[in-house]
Amino acid sequence: MKIYYSDKHRRHNPSFEVFDGGQRVPYLETPDRMDKILAALGKTDWAEITEPENFGLDPILAVHDPGYINFLSTAWDEWTAGQPISDPISNNPILLPATFALRRRPHIPVSVLGRAGYYMMDLSACLVENTYEAALVSAYCALSGAKFIADNWLNTPVNRSSTAFALCRPPGHHAGKDYAAGYCFINNAAVAANCLSTKGRVALLDIDYHACNGTQDIFYDRSDVLTISIHGDPDYEYPYFVGYLDETGVGDGINFHHNFPLQPGTTDPMYLATMDKAINLIRDFAPKYLVVSVGADIYAGDPLGKFKITRDGFHEIGKKIANLELPTLMVMEGGYNNDALGENVVSFISALQRSGKR
């Protein structure tokens, strides 16, 4: 199986984040996450680690607002220009706003800190010197995977199934059209799905513990990309304001978005029953391609999740997706129990690894 990965993700490594209630904690979305997944993949005989291609900005600007992408690319240099920036606690400063736009009818301020509050939704999407570069290459991993499954579909008419895994960091599914959120800056899965949508209908299934507010924002008024999210109930879980059952799309997108909010303590059988509903929606939509946002934070014991999914449960979820027999791109999102992360991810994606269908 093609695994698209770049070591450039290490250039995004904030020293801390501001957690619930204002608590300052070490950044949970660390480079170690990728190391654990790579180590587990290294034990297999089917993982082919491949550097992503450079796709430029066009496929990213097809999804994200140009002003937002310009902010990501320039904010650090603008913030640090002509002044020493220091952090008395960590010696590794990060850019975070003190105020946030409520997005009713806001102006976009001129100052970099004002724009930070406009383009950043929360305190976990913090910028360091090379965040933009890491985010850009993360998106290229997803785009490379999308290109692979599309090309494989065209070149192998007898075998219409192909899979690829984009080992993306930073993750992407909380990033909306014009904002960063929840460790996410560029919506990797959405960029890939949008690219594939030029070749045929796409279904995007998000199985991360947290609702894919950014993906929902991007495709909410579209009927060519079916989006489905299975996640913790936003009445109690991040992102709180998005991910409810009654959010089904607007305009052309009505009934082309589906949220399945689940309660804390959800177990394998409960989750798999919901997966069956999502699978039926995908079958009815009859897409040409499938993109899966893979969040391993549904695992029992993840510090940011409250589900009770086992390692065997990950494999069963993967089998249900594999049974769709669609060209499938898997895109890495969350998962913060680093001791278990690698084996959980391999358990999931191995269910989609098809002998002779690479």
pLDDT single digits (tens) 129-177: 999 999 999 999 999 999 999 998 777 654 556 999 999 999 999 999 9
Burial class (CB in 10 A: 0-12, 13-18, 19+), 65: middle
Where, residue-wise, is CATH 3.40.800.20 in the chain?
2-64+131-350
pTM over 0.85: yes
* Token duo for residue 255: 């009934």
Reply yes or no on whether 174 is catalytic: yes
Q: Quick one: pLDDT band at residue 358, thresholds 50, 70, 90?
A: very low
The mean predicted confidence, pLDDT, of the chain is 94
DSSP H or E segment with residue 231? strand 225-232
pLDDT of residue 356: 34
- pLDDT beyond 70 at 126: yes
**Does residue 298 contact residue 209 with C-beta atoms inside 8 Å?**
yes
CA dist., res. 227 & res. 185, Å (int): 19
More confident residue, 206 or 80: 206
* The CATH number fitting domain 2-64+131-350, selected from 3.40.50.720, 3.10.450.50, 1.10.10.10, 3.40.800.20: 3.40.800.20
Which of 9, 64, 173, 174 is catalytic? The answer is: 174
Burial class (CB in 10 A: 0-12, 13-18, 19+), 221: middle
CA dist., res. 63 & res. 192, Å (int): 10
Mean pLDDT of the region 179-194: 98
Q: Quick one: pLDDT band at residue 282, thresholds 50, 70, 90?
A: very high
Backbone angles phi, psi at 350, to 5 degrees: -65, -25
CA dist., res. 276 & res. 12, Å (int): 37
Percentage of the residues of the chain whose pLDDT score is greater than 90:
86
The DSSP code for 191 is H
Mean pLDDT of the region 267-274: 98
Mean pLDDT of the region 101-123: 91
**Does residue 146 contact residue 292 with C-beta atoms inside 8 Å?**
no
- pLDDT beyond 80 at 354: no
CA dist., res. 125 & res. 176, Å (int): 12
- pLDDT beyond 70 at 355: no
Please name which of 280, 285, 282, 277 lies closest in space to residue 261, comparing C-alpha atoms: 277
- pLDDT beyond 80 at 357: no
Q: Quick one: pLDDT band at residue 339, thresholds 50, 70, 90?
A: very high
pLDDT of residue 156: 63
Q: Quick one: pLDDT band at residue 19, thresholds 50, 70, 90?
A: confident
Quick: pLDDT tens for 43-80: 999 999 999 999 999 999 999 999 999 999 999 999 99
CA dist., res. 356 & res. 106, Å (int): 53
- pLDDT beyond 70 at 88: no
The residue assigned the tokens 């985010």 is: 135
